[in-house]
């Protein structure tokens, strides 16, 4: 008998991957399950046992929280990456790490490929496939959900027929994914973009109406764009994010309802909860506002958008992202200091920021005593600044389509020194 091909499956313990173990086994594969803890707060021992119960020949569980934050989240935070101005990329940032660990275990197990539970309509399939191609082009990639032709209801029925325990039912059809950087929810009633998300969708964040009546203040310290302290005390990355998720969630911060553009060309309605991500991105931006020069800050916005697009599109392991990080890292040399935020009934607001490297100078900004700004230089500067516009107007005439005569019409009352 020919030896079975071995696959390492990214196993979440949910519906798709639980069904996938049995289905892959029926297709003739030897399946090794790999579960990576990125902060999902799941019973990992139970998931590991379930994988073996369903049919995996071996089951790995790996704690990836620290590596996730320090190798993937922090560079994205330094970049200021937010997809389409709303999504902090929680799931998208986690996939390249999972792919890298799949490759590592596949090599340890002498496997011929990796497998994942992504659908053919989503973005995660691209992230897994392309990351694997970049890291180990010799490995095959198998995606059962793209192949078996079952919809979600069919999978639930398949699981029931084969005695596969899964945390999903026809009555509760939400598909969720979570890690330390955020929680995503889709499917069910959420597929209707007109429908308000029902209360049972939210798990990490309180309804703002039920939040404390007094605000919560947090102070975050940064070193070279990376958060290193909370309320004046040094803190490790995992504890920092967990604490901010709890503080933000208690104050209703971090709810996102995003109608996003998927890589495969369709629009999708996604619900996210990301208290720590929202807070840290806001704090980091506030510190950059006070430490980066205008031209660097504005160009960095372009880099942030490009970074977010690449990560969303599954191109973490790409030459361009590596090159962009060289720029991002250089910009972060002086992003040091503290930011204080006020969390209150669903909002997060910057309440203060300071840095030893800040470019904000009181003696230049103040309108009070101590003003050292040379106002006498302004007239000459403005004359030179407007030289091109003034010359064009003199030579070519009117430079705009605005009808000036229409601006001051009959609805004007004029009063002169001698009377009306």
The model's pLDDT over 37-70, given as tens digits with 9 standing for 90+, comes to: 999 888 899 899 999 999 999 999 999 999 999 9
The structural domains of the chain, with segments of one domain joined by +, span 6-177, 181-364
Over the chain, what is the mean pLDDT?
92
Q: What is the pLDDT of residue 255?
A: 97
Q: What is the pLDDT of residue 141?
A: 96
pLDDT digits (tens, 9 = 90+) for 334-384: 999 999 999 999 999 999 999 999 999 988 888 888 889 888 999 999 999
Give CA–CA dist 367/373, Å, rounded. 9
Catalytic (active-site) positions: 16, 95, 124, 175
- Phi first, then psi, for residue 350 (nearest 5°) are -70, 125
Q: What is the pLDDT of residue 419?
A: 61
| Lowest-pLDDT choice from 19-23, 147-151, 276-280, 407-411 | 407-411
For 224-300, list the strands marked E by DSSP.
Answer: 226-230, 233-234, 255-261, 267-273
Beta pairing partners, 221: 229, 338
The CATH topology of domain 6-177 is: Rossmann fold (3.40.50)
Range from 13-22, 32-41, 248-257, 387-396 that averages highest in pLDDT: 248-257
For 201-250, list the strands marked E by DSSP.
Answer: 216-223, 226-230, 233-234
pLDDT digits (tens, 9 = 90+) for 288-309: 999 999 999 999 999 999 999 9
Give CA–CA dist 399/401, Å, rounded. 7
Q: Do domains 6-177 and 181-364 have the same CATH topology?
A: no
Q: Per the confidence metrics, is the pTM higher than 0.75?
A: yes
Contacts 24+ apart (CB under 8 A), 300-308: 300/79, 300/80, 300/327, 300/328, 300/331, 301/80, 303/79, 303/327, 303/328, 304/79, 304/80, 304/81, 304/82, 307/76, 307/79, 307/80, 307/81, 308/79, 308/81, 308/82, 308/83, 308/84, 308/89
User: Residues 6 or more apart from 252 whose CB is under 8 A from it?
Assistant: 205, 206, 207, 208, 210, 211, 345, 346, 347
User: Residues 6 or more apart from 400 whose CB is under 8 A from it?
Assistant: none
Give CA–CA dist 24/20, Å, rounded. 6
User: Residues 6 or more apart from 38 whose CB is under 8 A from it?
Assistant: 64, 65, 68, 94, 97, 98, 179, 180
Q: What is the pLDDT of residue 1?
A: 46
The number of beta carbons lying within 10 Å of the beta carbon of residue 391 is 10
Give CA–CA dist 330/40, Å, rounded. 33
The CATH topology of domain 181-364 is: 3.90.1260
């Amino acid at each position: 008998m020919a030896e079975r091909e071995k696959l390492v499956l990214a196993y979440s313990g949910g519906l798709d991957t639980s069904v996938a173990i049995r289905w892959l086994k029926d297709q003739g594969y030897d399946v090794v399950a790999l579960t990576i803890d990125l902060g999902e707060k799941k019973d990992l021992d139970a998931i590991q046992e379930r994988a073996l119960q369903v049919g995996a020949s071996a089951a790995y569980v790996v704690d990836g929280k620290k590596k996730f934050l320090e190798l993937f989240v922090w560079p994205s935070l330094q970049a200021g990456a937010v997809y389409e101005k709303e999504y902090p990329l929680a799931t998208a940032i986690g996939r390249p790490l999972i792919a890298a660990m799949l490759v590592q275990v596949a090599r340890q197990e002498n496997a011929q490929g990796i497998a994942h539970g992504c659908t053919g309509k989503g973005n995660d399939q691209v992230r897994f496939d392309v990351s694997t191609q970049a890291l180990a082009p010799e490995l095959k990639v198998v995606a059962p959900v793209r192949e078996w032709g079952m919809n979600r209801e069919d999978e639930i029925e398949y699981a029931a027929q084969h005695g596969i325990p899964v945390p999903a039912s026809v009555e509760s059809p939400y598909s969720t994914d979570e890690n330390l950087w955020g929680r995503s929810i889709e499917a069910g009633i959420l597929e209707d973009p007109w429908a308000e998300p029902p209360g049972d969708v939210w798990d990490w964040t309180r309804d703002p109406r039920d939040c404390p009546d007094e605000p919560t203040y947090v102070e975050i310290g940064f070193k070279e764009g990376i958060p290193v302290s909370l309320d004046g005390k040094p803190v490790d990355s995992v504890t920092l994010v967990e604490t901010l998720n709890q503080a933000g969630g208690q104050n209703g911060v971090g709810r996102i309802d995003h109608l996003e553009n998927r890589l495969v060309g369709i629009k999708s309605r996604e619900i996210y909860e990301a208290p720590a991500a929202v807070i840290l991105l806001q704090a980091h931006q506030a510190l950059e506002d006070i430490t980066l020069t205008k031209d660097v800050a504005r160009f960095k916005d372009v880099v942030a958008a490009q970074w977010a697009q690449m990560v969303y599109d599954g191109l973490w392991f790409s030459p361009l992202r590596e090159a962009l990080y060289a720029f991002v890292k250089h910009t972060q040399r002086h992003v040091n200091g503290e930011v204080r935020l006020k969390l209150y009934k669903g909002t997060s607001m910057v309440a203060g920021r300071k840095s030893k490297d800040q470019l904000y100078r009181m003696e230049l900004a103040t309108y009070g005593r101590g003003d050292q700004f040379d106002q006498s230089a302004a007239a000459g500067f403005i004359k030179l600044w407007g030289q091109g516009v003034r010359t064009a107007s003199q030579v070519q005439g009117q430079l705009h389509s605005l009808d000036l005569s229409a601006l001051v019409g009959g609805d004007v009352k004029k009063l002169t020194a001698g009377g009306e």
